[in-house]
Amino acid sequence: MTERNRRHLLGVGDLTRDDAERILDTARGLERSLDRELKKLPTLRGRLVVNLFYESSTRTLSSFELAAKRLSADTMVLRASGSSVDKGESLRDTALTLAAYDPDVIVIRHPHIGAPHLVAGATAAHVVNAGDGKHQHPTQALLDLYTIREALGRLDGVSVAIVGDVLHSRVARSLVEALVLVGADAVLVAPPTLLPRGIEALGCSVSHSIETIADADVVYVLRMQAERMEAAYVPSLREYTALYGVTPGRVRPGQVVMHPGPMNRGVEIDPRVADSDASLVTTQVRSGLVVRMAVLYDLLTAPGLPSAVAASVLEVA
Ligand code: NCD
């Protein structure tokens, strides 16, 4: 993590290029450990990782849970529904309650931008942002970088077309920043109503034409986030699909296709593309596990260890 924020991963802005590359290298070392019959490493024995989820999640929550367990940490999950959050407890009070258990890491997903920052200020734990509103989702960006690097063998100069509902997507914001950080090119492809104004300032280009995806190495499809849409941003989902749906006819041979999940099959992505050999969707899920292991490892062991040293620590663990 950067000098500014070595203790937390609240956004991609907390990472230098070296940080990102070190985490990806550590993830690769950890991936090898998953091929063993005994998949558990003792590295984080005695540590406590709390997953505090105020929004629904399948992949992110399950992979953080499993990541912590594979490194031998204790884990706890607190979901908003069924907890005192239902009774109106404030985020700060919930954070202070959890802090009484002395957690080493709090992983938080919350609908409000900045919620992870609030928890970081209220507790002594390392905080990882697992998604705050439309803002950031840094571990998703790292797992996507890892997936691309493993599939294409490089990140520098790779071109990624991100297609869909950019306006409501924390995944898109984090991924653009991460791609720029490692020297890859990002183009955002969406109707004007689904592109935040001025997003080019992040260092990407924009296009309103689906034809643009033909030039990319990677087609990254975003979910239409109906739950975040207060108004009609597209005339109809059918029209969106006709103009921007990623169909077999729009994917060129040699391209790979990614999606963070959950997919709306038949809306933003044609099932034949989702299930094709070009699809890296399940690879992304596997990457999520090893990258989240690497993030926990990076936060809880000597930060800034050169990756070769980190790898040897993992080998002897
Ligand atoms: C994303 C999220 O929740 O931000 N999903 C995920 O973490 N894999 C994207 C989405 O919900 O569309």
Strand 126-132's sheet: what is its strand order?
74-79, 48-53, 105-110, 126-132
Residues 130 and 29 in one domain: yes
Q: What is the mean pLDDT of residues 174-203?
A: 97
User: In terms of domains, do 289 and 274 share one?
Assistant: no
Atom of ligand 1 nearest to the CA of 137: 4
Tell me: do 177 and 263 sit in the same domain: yes
Q: Do 231 and 272 sit in the same domain of this protein? A: yes
pTM above 0.85, yes or no: yes
3-state secondary structure of 187: strand
Q: Which domain holds residue 312?
A: 3-136+284-316
Start-to-end C-alpha separation, the chain = 23
Helix (H), strand (E) at residue 107: strand 105-110
pLDDT band at 316 (very low <50, low <70, confident <90, very high): very low
Q: What is the mean pLDDT of the chain?
A: 92
Nearest-CA residue for ligand 1 atom 7 is 60
Q: Is the CB of 171 under 6 A from ligand 1?
A: yes
The CA 137 to ligand 1 mean position distance, Å, reads 8
Q: Are residues 300 and 258 in the same domain?
A: no
Residues 154 and 291 in one domain: no
pLDDT of residue 3 exceeding 50: no
Q: Are residues 214 and 228 in the same domain?
A: yes
3-state helix, strand, coil in the chain (%, to 5): 45, 15, 40
**Same structural domain, 162 and 109:** no
Verify whether ligand 1 is closer than 6 Å to residue 60 (CB atom).
yes
State whether the beta carbon of 284 lies less than 6 angstroms from ligand 1: no
**Within a 13 Å sphere around the CA of 235, how many CA atoms are in the beta-carbon half?**
7
DSSP at 174: H
For residue 223, the CA-to-ligand 1 centroid distance in Å is 8
Going by DSSP bridges, is the β-strand pair 105-110/205-207 parallel, antiparallel, or unpaired?
Answer: unpaired
Determine if ligand 1 sits within 6 Å of the CB of residue 223.
yes
Ligand 1 pocket mutation, candidates 137, 173, 229, criterion most atoms within 8 A of CB: 137
Same domain, 32 and 150: no
Least confidently predicted of 29-38, 127-136, 138-147, 164-173: 29-38
**What token pair was written down for 36?**
């063993």
Same domain? For 115 and 15 the reply is yes
Between 89 and 44, whose confidence is greater?
Answer: 44
CATH of the domain at 73: 3.40.50.1370
Task: Return d(Cα 307, Cα 26) in angstroms, integer.
Answer: 6
Please tell me whether residues 117 and 160 are part of one structural domain. no
For ligand 1, whether the C-beta of 137 sits within 6 Å is yes
On whether the CB atoms of residues 287 and 143 are closer than 8 A, the answer is yes
Confidence label for 83 from pLDDT (cuts 50, 70 and 90): confident
255's torsion region: left (phi>0), alpha (psi -120 to 50) or beta? beta
Indicate if ligand 1 lies below 6 Å from the C-beta of 261. Answer: yes
Q: How far is it, in rounded angstroms, from Cα 15 to Cα 17?
A: 7
Q: Which one, of 310, 311, 295, 300, lies nearest residue 10 by Cα?
A: 295
Query: Which ligand 1 atom is the nearest neighbour of the CA of 223?
Result: 12
> Which atom of ligand 1 is the closest one to the Cα of 130?
7
Cβ atoms < 10 Å from Cβ of 24? 23
For the chain, the maximum distance between any two Cα atoms, rounded to a whole number of angstroms, is 58
Phi and psi for 195 in degrees, rounded to 5?
A: -115, 120
Residue 307 has pLDDT above 50, yes or no: no
* Total number of domains constituting the chain: 2
Nearest to 79 by CA among 60, 66, 104, 101: 60
CB 145 within 8 A of CB 182: yes
Looking from the CA of residue 260, the nearest atom of ligand 1 is: 8
277 and 235 belong to one structural domain: yes
**Distance in Å, CA 265 to ligand 1 centroid:** 15
**Residue 234's pLDDT band (cuts 50, 70, 90):** confident
Q: From the CA of 37, how far away is ligand 1's center (Å)? A: 31
Name the 3-class secondary structure at 26.
helix
- Residue 126 corresponds to which amino acid? H
What contacts 234, CB < 8 A, 6 or more positions away? 191, 193, 194, 224, 240
